[in-house]
Structure 1
Amino acid sequence: MTDWSEPIRKKGFVLNFQTKKLQEISDRHITNPCRSVEEYEKLNMLGQGTYGVVYRVRDKKTKKEYALKKVKVDRDLFRDGFPVACLREISILKSCKHENIVDLKEVVVGEQLEKIFLVMEYCEQDLASLLDNLEKPFSESEVKCIIMQLLRGLEYLHGHYIIHRDIKVSNLLLTDTGCLKIADFGLARTFSVPQKSMTPGLVTLWYRPPELLLGSPNQSTAIDMWAVGCILGELLSHKPLLPGTSEISQINLIVDLLGTPSESIWPGFKDLPALQNFNLRQQPYNNLKTRFPYLSQVGLRLLNFLFMYDPMKRATAVECLQSSYFKEAPLPADPKLMPSFPQHRNLKASTSSMTSGRTRTQERVGNSNISDILGNVLKKKRFE
């Protein structure tokens, strides 16, 4: 009688297109079958987003706790095989091994073909809900600790030709030992040199860089670095830095903070698609120093470097980690000495307590193309 829990041992063959001969499949390409999701006990929901629902679960055998992400899949897509987007996320997560990137333990399945779940290491906090419930804001030393870990994770990703494309506080997890983990790779993509065009406008609105807002077809690691600047500003000011409600609103907030870009500081700026339909408001001043009067000169320099309009000149993760900002007082806190917090996501009253904090429902507003939003309201003009 066959034991279906045992690994598949039967040898198979594939056709080698170079030699035109059948080639035996090696043992290293034969894997165990996926376990059932029923082997995990569901405890509570941790979060829900556009690309999946995440639960806290417990392995019934080992009693260890994990995060279980139910991947949102269109049933009809299975007619053409396993969804490419889901395969991409699993492939990227399996290839990443770094202390600041969430670890994928295994993939489990439900009774129906389209029910797919990712089992990942469990982290006690996500930064968004933590910020919504903090009684006392993070100190500058703690902010530096968080940002340095984020930069190390991005240094690893970018060094392995991976763009996350959705860096935001709700996708950053924290353990009780102070370790930050980058999570949710549903939008992540690998890139090559030279880079190819990718689907535009997917980065969450509050953290979306100006090149995407203005319709640039090119995407690089610079879009992740703009988001780092937004998160650094958010942690330092204790509130979202650029909380736009639409693409136009988002552009105006950026211009208010950094001034109006020009061809001299951003070559190719005047040729961006969105600028064929409207004029940016003229605002000649960089107001970062006004917004952060307590920040040191090297801190302001780092923020300016992260907020360079030209993606080619924007800071890289490697460059940021070498910044003097992390070497001056107050020095970054040791992750092990970071404070611990109540696990708000696991409390029965978490829904009511989180809704009383800062609302983040506007984060994904504005995914439509800015040219469609403008319509006939604004006259077609160009920068000269």
Structure 2
Amino acid sequence: DLKVSNLLMTDKGCVKTADFGLARAYGVPVKPMTPKVVTLWYRAPELLLGTTTQTTSIDMWAVGCILAELLAHKPLLPGTSEIHQIDLIVQLLGTPSENIWPGFSKLPLVGQYSLRKQPYNNLKHKFPWLSEAGLRLLHFLFMYDPKKRATAGDCLESSYFKEKPLPCEPELMPTFPHHRNKRAAPATSEGQSKRCKP
């Protein structure tokens, strides 16, 4: 259930993933599973269209939503229902088809939706300030075809993370007040009096 509110950061800059309530065991061969996983705003289109097979690519779609939310300072696809969620995805990325997503027409719920005709990918319009490398990373995370979607390894190799501004060093990360106060706390009067004694 990857989403911004389930990511916790320590004062050392270490990100921790929390809340595994919707987690599923994943292995080979892939077993049929319910598509009712992942919070709606971060749910991959194949889940919304009723796929019964899931891979780690659904997590990578959620990673794309999280990255976009951090860039925009607000949720990217705040759908109010599954139908609305699909419509928001189509508005942003264009209408899916067999050409760009082999097997799309065979997904269980495709016949239940009338998708709007939208031929354009609007990521560049949504993030006009983002570099080409950043847009390329988002494009790969938001591929309709789960087999073509970026993996975690692909993301780590992205040139976007080598651009300026570079991440700050862990010791320069902002800290929580009680940690900051602990680090900067002056010596206690008791400690000072012990040092002053001959």
Same fold per superposition (TM over 0.5): yes
Q: What is the identity, as a one-letter code, of the residue corresponding to 2:42?
A: Y
| 1:328 and 2:178 matched | no
> Structure 1 residue 271: deviation in Å?
1.1
Question: Residue 139 of structure 2 aligns with which residue?
Answer: 304
Pick the structure with more strand per residue: 1
TM-score scaled by length of structure 1? 0.45
- Distance in 1 of aligned mates of 2:177 and 2:47: 37
Equivalents in 2 of 1:328, 1:320: separation in Å? 14
2:111: which partner in 1?
276
- CA gap of 1:278–1:186, structure 2 versus 1, over 3 A, is closer
Deviation at 1:341, TM superposition (A): 4.6
Deviation at 1:335, TM superposition (A): 2.9
Match of 2:72 in 1: 237
2:37 matches 1:174: no
Q: CA deviation at 1:177?
A: 2.0
Q: Is the 8 A contact 2:60 2:149 kept in 1?
A: yes
1:197 to 2:32 alignment: yes
* Superposed displacement of residue 342, structure 1: 5.6
SS of the residue corresponding to residue 281 of structure 1 reads: coil
Aligned counterparts of 1:227 and 1:308: Cα–Cα separation in 2: 12
Could you say which residue in structure 2 is the equivalent of 1:315? 150
Structure 1 CA distance for aligned equivalents of residues 44 and 84 of structure 2: 13
Residue 297 of structure 1 deviates from its aligned partner by 0.3
Structure 1 residue 275 displacement after superposition: 1.3
Pairwise CA RMSD:
1.3
Aligned-pair distance for 1:189?
A: 2.0
Gaps of 5+ in 1: 1-165, 344-384
Q: What corresponds to 1:263 in structure 2?
A: 98
The answer on 1:291 being equivalent to 2:141 is no
| Larger relative contact order (CA 8 Å, sep ≥ 6) | 2
Equivalent residue in structure 2 for 1:222, among 57, 68, 72: 57
Q: 1:79-106, CA deviations, whole angstroms, 9 ceiling, x for partnerless residues?
A: xxxxxxxxxxxxxxxxxxxxxxxxxxxx
Q: Helix, strand or coil: the match of 2:8?
A: strand
Structure 2, unmatched stretches of 5+, are: 179-198
2:176 & 2:124 partners in 1: Cα distance?
32
User: What is the TM-score normalised by the length of structure 2?
Assistant: 0.86
How far 1:330 sits from its partner (Å)? 1.4
Shift of 1:241: 0.6
Matched, 1:250 2:85: yes
How far 1:184 sits from its partner (Å)?
1.3
Find the aligned partners of 1:342 and 1:306 in 2 and give their Cα distance.
36
| Number of aligned residue pairs | 178
1:212 paired residue number: 47
- Tell me what 1:92 maps to: none
Q: 1:214 to 1:342 in 2, by over 3 A?
A: farther
Deviations along 1:27-69, one digit per CA (max 9) or x if unpaired, are xxxxxxxxxxxxxxxxxxxxxxxxxxxxxxxxxxxxxxxxxxx
Identity score, percent: 72
Local SS of the residue matching 1:181: strand
**Matched residues in 1 for 2:171 and 2:106: separation?**
48
Map Cα deviations across residues 86-140 of structure 1 (whole Å, 9 max, x no partner).
Answer: xxxxxxxxxxxxxxxxxxxxxxxxxxxxxxxxxxxxxxxxxxxxxxxxxxxxxxx
Inter-partner Cα distance in structure 2 for 1:342 and 1:260? 48
Moved more, 199-208 or 332-341: 332-341
Cα deviations across residues 259-301 of structure 1 (Å, max 9, x unaligned)? 1111000001011111122321110111100010110001000
Post-superposition offset of 1:229? 0.3
Paired AA for residue 164 in structure 2: A
- TM-aligned CA distance change 1:341 to 1:257, over 3 Å: farther
